[in-house]
Amino acid sequence: MFPETAQRLKTAAPLFSHAAFLTDLKRLSAHGGARRHLTVGRCLTAKVPPPRKPRERVEIPGLEMVTYGERMHYVPGLAKPAPQHWERDYKDPRYYKSPPAHEMRLYKDKPCYMFNQRTSALEGVRQAAWLTKTQVIPGLPAQLLSLAENPENQIPDQDERVQNAIKHARFWDTTEDRPRKEKYSNTLLLNLLHLCATLQCSHPAVGRRMLAENYSLATTWKRGEDLLQIRGQNGLLLNSMDPLPEMSGKQEVADTADHVLDAFYPVSPTIDLQKVHVYKEEVNHTGFRDDYPYPHAHTLYFLESADPRCKLRPEQFRTKMIMFTFGNALARAHKLYGTRPQRLLDRPVTVQSVGTNGRIFQFMVFQLNTTDLSGDDGIKNQMWLEEDVELYDFAKVRPLIKKKQVKVQFLFEGRRGFH
């Protein structure tokens, strides 16, 4: 063989092998085979090493291994001693280990289903209505709508001041290019509450209210054979010295006995609720002391982005509003009438709630007519719900720039007739 021909074959050999490799790879891919990774580490191929099987220790009575444990130092030829659990003679909270659940003092065989601020109920408002034995009425009561439309209950230059509150939350109260949702939604809520507080001169009852934040609520009730509890913190609460008046008369309350609750079989009504066996029975606490001068819950305020680690969908967000509003009303009813179930309360407990994500608002009014929630028959509670009310259309934060010139600093499209 001539030297030139041998040199050409050596040069073409890698090309032939590469072509054969591509042909094999196409065949494997066509038949669903695994791909070959050449010169690629395990971390890049996303392969997890198989777990190591623990070595079984065989203990034979009378044939214990001789270890260097008693000598307190390593000795060649002797076996390594087995680690022993060391208990401290003092309490260190950093290394505390809770006992098993069945050994705890509050352990019970009957489970309890808890609703907290991070619960995402599958069936949404229907599930909350069944758990609270409530009749859902779309829209707000006529009494509230008439109060909102009354000119005496409106502040001077209301439209302009509400728009300024929106612009302050979306454009002015930040040093960033675009404020975060949890930032401007909280700022907008506080701005609107400040505008409502300006009516104290003409409405002295506004001065008999107090805001509370991060209070803890706990209440218990039975629904059928299930034991239910509401526990946790819901956000901002407006307390009052005077209770809210009831929205429905005695005849309307009596008519709720004919209402049939929606069923969602085969889904369990307690789905997505936390099931626990360690709990306190008959727990009922409003979050405040008995001598608190503002004992009545007036309005609850919910922010959709209050907890960045738990984002709820709109339907589940409304469910959270319903459950915590009902929990505040039930805890107050237990303080007034005792924990024994009452078929019909002498004076219903009314609590309002408002939820927002910074642009869309949810309004709700809950009237607790009964604390006898075990069965589906009898008097029902009432709830008025107004969903997805847009305060403004949009707010464009970033400026409009054309030919390196700022044409519009920001865009805001609001609505007229704020109430």
pLDDT, tens digit (0-9, with 9 covering 90-100), for 87-110 = 888 999 998 888 999 999 999 999
Asked whether the CA dihedral 366, 372, 374, 375 is positive or negative, the reply is negative
Greater model confidence, 42 or 330: 330
For residue 384, pLDDT over 50 is answered with yes
pLDDT at 8 over 90: no
Q: In this predicted structure, what is the pLDDT of residue 57?
A: 79
Average pLDDT over residues 349-372: 95
> What confidence category does residue 6 fall into, taking pLDDT thresholds of 50, 70 and 90?
very low
Give the model's confidence band at 44: pLDDT under 50 very low, under 70 low, under 90 confident, else very high: low
| pLDDT at position 272 over 60 | yes
Please tell me what DSSP assigns to residue 122: S
For residue 54 the two structure tokens come to: 């623990």
Reported as a single tens digit per residue, the pLDDT across 138-174 is 999 999 999 988 988 888 898 899 989 998 998 888 8
Residue 256 has pLDDT above 60, yes or no: yes
Would you give the end-to-end CA distance of the chain in angstroms?
99
The strand pairing partners of 67, in sequence order, are: 79
Q: Supply the pLDDT for residue 381.
A: 97
As a 3-state breakdown, the chain gives helix, strand, coil percent values, each rounded to 5, of: 30, 25, 45
Average pLDDT, the chain: 86
d(CA 31, CA 50): 26
Lowest mean pLDDT among 80-84, 130-134, 251-255, 286-290: 80-84
pLDDT of residue 20: 56
pTM of the model: 0.78
> Region 344-353: what's the mean pLDDT?
95
User: Which tops the pLDDT comparison, 165 or 414?
Assistant: 165
- For 63-93, the pLDDT digits (tens) are 888 899 889 899 999 999 988 888 888 999 9
> In the chain, what percentage of residues exceed pLDDT 90?
58
**pLDDT at residue 39 greater than cutoff 60:** no
3: pLDDT strictly greater than 80: no
Can you list the positions of beta strands (E) in 19-151?
A: 107-115, 134-138
